[in-house]
Amino acid sequence: METLIYHIENGGSTWQEKTVDVSSPIKIMNIKINIPKEYALLCYIIVKDSNGKFRMFREIGYGPRTLIIGNDGMHTTAGGTAGDIPIGRWKFIICAFREYVMQRLGKNSFNVKVTISDDISSVKEPVGEQDWVGNKEFDIDKNYSDESRWYKGDFHTHTRLSDGKETTRSAMKKAEQMGMDFYIPTEHNVLHTGWTEAKVMVVPGVEITTSLGHFNIFGCLGMPGRLTHILKHDGEDRISEEVEYTIREADEKEWLWSINHPFLHIWKWTYFDLKLKNLRLMEIINDPTYEYAKKANEDAISFIDFLWQQGFRVFGLGGSDSHNLIDERYEGADEPSVPGDPATLVYMDGMTPSKLLKAVSKGHVIVARYITMEVYFLFENKKYLPGDRIEITGDSEFKNDIVASVTIKINEETYGKNIIPELYLIENGVKREVGLEKRDERTYMADVVTNWHTIEWEWKRFEVLSKDYGFLGYVNPIFHGRKKSKLKTFGEAVQLWRGQ
């Protein structure tokens, strides 16, 4: 048994590394953490074995205080990598989460005590039956459904691996109750190494969390190479280089990435040097129950419309950013923050992780709240989806109409709200209302006839609103043509957008 002490204070070292020698074979490693409860969200624990392999990587947060590294996912605590315990020098790192230190610590300080032993102990929150990095690898092509349809899921969620309050098992129960087909856990600077067995398709993700803003990576089949550098150097001048490196790495490895809540309070996006030509996805609806969400989400939609008007193809996503338990409410909220609110609907010809990522990259996406939607476009006898380029052929000469079929279904659970949808068509930034036909108590439909008017750049999208409850749906645009913009960076775009 060996005990290590780490001292955390504002302005002190954010990365403290100590070593322990494992001198003889042991079956498990038992890591007990003693930290003041009020500061548990301020620290990550990172363990590397004598071969330099990450064996535990998680935020202390609301999770268990006894962490176990065992021989499989059911005998290893979430955030751990199961397997043999090699003899040699192990590293035990406590990293202060700079964002929370700045917000919560003030002039206070505290100690973290870590005790390492080979004591046998039960595992309260295991990695789970799915082992993504140990004896097996994540199956990117695993088939969950053969149906061609709109699938419902969430691209921004948190569990107790970082600063969420739900275990993976309770998160899956909640996701199933919400009728979700897929779920992407996006913990702050931490990746799950596996998952509990579930009916819902789970795809690895991570929320890269920095002082310049947050962005999600989806489908990352391994840890981003500079993740520990981001934790170690956040707040320093070099953090912009780490963000840029990670974005380039995601593109090279064909991981998808998306800016999160770009205008939300203290978490807004301020990496203004981001090149717009590299931006493909942006979260336009983030946790609508949060007190600052309404204005931030409206700004995000306004800004993404501005980018489209400038000729940039950036597709909108939704994310619940759910952290809380089902019975908790944010200040001023009359309903809980739960996975699937908003829902992100993705059209796929059969559901696999790889098909999900491909469909999202094409913009075959609708973001919805209180409703589900289906939207299709018919042009010259060919069917198109939101996000598609629909080019004019030489023979059409703008004579052939685009017919959009829109179906809106009100969810059964609307927390007592009487939802009456209003459908709008936004064409090149100009909004007009479109009539809806009520088919039954919960279903509304419309066939909308439109067309292109020029061979130049044009785009169209649908939006669904409620007079009483605001946002209900965002449908990614269809488009044609091309437009070259003088804007190069995110910062230039924000400056011009705010000045219009």
Instruction: Note whether residue 364 is domain-resident.
Output: yes
| Contact present, 448 and 432 (Cβ < 8 Å) | no
Tell me, what's the pLDDT at 499?
87
Residue whose tokens read 């070593």: 19
Residue 136 has pLDDT above 70, yes or no: no
Q: Could you write out the three-class secondary structure of 160-196?
A: CCCCCCCCHHHHHHHHHHCCCCEEEEEEECCCCCEEC
Return the CATH number at 379: 3.20.20.140
Structural domain for 68, as ranges: 2-127
Percent of the chain at pLDDT above 70?
98
Confidence class for position 11, pLDDT limits 50, 70, 90 = confident
Q: Is the dihedral of CA 224, 226, 231, 235 positive or negative?
A: negative
- Give the separation between CA 125 and CA 76, rounded to whole angstroms: 8
**Structural domain ending residue among the three candidates 127, 161, 188:** 127
Q: In this structure, are 156 and 112 located in the same domain?
A: no
- Output the pTM of the full model: 0.96
Instruction: Note whether residue 22 is domain-resident.
Output: yes
How long, in residues, is the chain? 500
Tokens of 480: 């044609």
Q: In this structure, are 375 and 348 located in the same domain?
A: yes
**Structural domain ending residue among the three candidates 127, 162, 188:** 127
Nearest-10 Cα torsion for 98, 338, 349, 460: -80
Angle between helices 490-499 and 293-309 (to 10 degrees): 100
Residue 394 has pLDDT above 80, yes or no: no
Confidence class for position 135, pLDDT limits 50, 70, 90 = low
Q: How many helices (H) and strands (E) does the chain have?
A: 7, 30
How does pLDDT run across 395-435, given as a tens digit for each residue? Answer: 566 667 999 999 999 999 888 899 999 999 999 999 999 99
Instruction: Note whether residue 180 is domain-resident.
Output: yes
Q: In this structure, are 86 and 172 located in the same domain?
A: no
Q: In this structure, are 64 and 157 located in the same domain?
A: no
Q: Please state the rounded mean pLDDT for residues 472-484.
A: 97
Q: In this structure, are 117 and 214 located in the same domain?
A: no
- Give the separation between CA 135 and CA 81, rounded to whole angstroms: 10
Mean pLDDT, all residues of the chain: 95
Sheet order of strands, 66-69 included: 2-9, 109-117, 29-34, 66-69
Q: In this structure, are 107 and 241 located in the same domain?
A: no
Return the CATH number at 16: 2.60.120.380
Candidate from 196-200, 220-224, 376-380, 391-395 with smallest mean pLDDT:
391-395
> Is residue 334 classed as helix, strand or coil in its secondary structure?
coil
How does pLDDT run across 344-375, given as a tens digit for each residue? Answer: 999 999 999 999 999 999 999 999 999 999 99
Q: Please state the rounded mean pLDDT for residues 265-279.
A: 97
Residue 162 has pLDDT above 70, yes or no: yes
Tell me, what's the pLDDT at 319?
98
Confidence class for position 134, pLDDT limits 50, 70, 90 = low
Instruction: Note whether residue 297 is domain-resident.
Output: yes
Instruction: Note whether residue 132 is domain-resident.
Output: no
Q: In this structure, are 231 and 361 located in the same domain?
A: yes
Q: In this structure, are 89 and 191 located in the same domain?
A: no
- Give the separation between CA 123 and CA 399, rounded to whole angstroms: 66
- CB within 8 A of 361, min separation 6: which ones? 256, 280
Q: Which helix (H) or strand (E) holds 305?
A: helix 293-309
Q: Please state the rounded mean pLDDT for residues 297-325.
A: 98
Instruction: Note whether residue 140 is domain-resident.
Output: no
Question: How many structural domains does the chain have?
Answer: 2
Q: In this structure, are 288 and 154 located in the same domain?
A: yes
Q: In this structure, are 174 and 304 located in the same domain?
A: yes
Q: In this structure, are 114 and 152 located in the same domain?
A: no
Confidence class for position 221, pLDDT limits 50, 70, 90 = confident
Q: Which helix (H) or strand (E) holds 221?
A: none
Candidate from 196-205, 239-248, 452-461 with smallest mean pLDDT:
452-461
Instruction: Note whether residue 449 is domain-resident.
Output: yes
Q: Is the dihedral of CA 219, 221, 225, 231 positive or negative?
A: positive
**How many Cα atoms within 13 Å fall on the side-chain side of residue 24?**
3
- Give the separation between CA 85 and CA 51, rounded to whole angstroms: 10
Percent of the chain at pLDDT above 90?
88
Q: In this structure, are 112 and 175 located in the same domain?
A: no
Residue 286 has pLDDT above 60, yes or no: yes
Confidence class for position 118, pLDDT limits 50, 70, 90 = very high
Confidence class for position 285, pLDDT limits 50, 70, 90 = very high
How does pLDDT run across 87-113, given as a tens digit for each residue? Answer: 999 999 999 988 888 888 888 999 999
Instruction: Note whether residue 138 is domain-resident.
Output: no
Phi, psi of 169 (to 5 degrees): -65, -45
- Give the separation between CA 101 and CA 248, rounded to whole angstroms: 28
Q: Please state the rounded mean pLDDT for residues 155-159.
A: 98
Residue 459 has pLDDT above 60, yes or no: yes
Phi, psi of 99 (to 5 degrees): -55, -45
One-letter identity of residue 98: R
**Structural domain ending residue among the three candidates 63, 98, 127:** 127
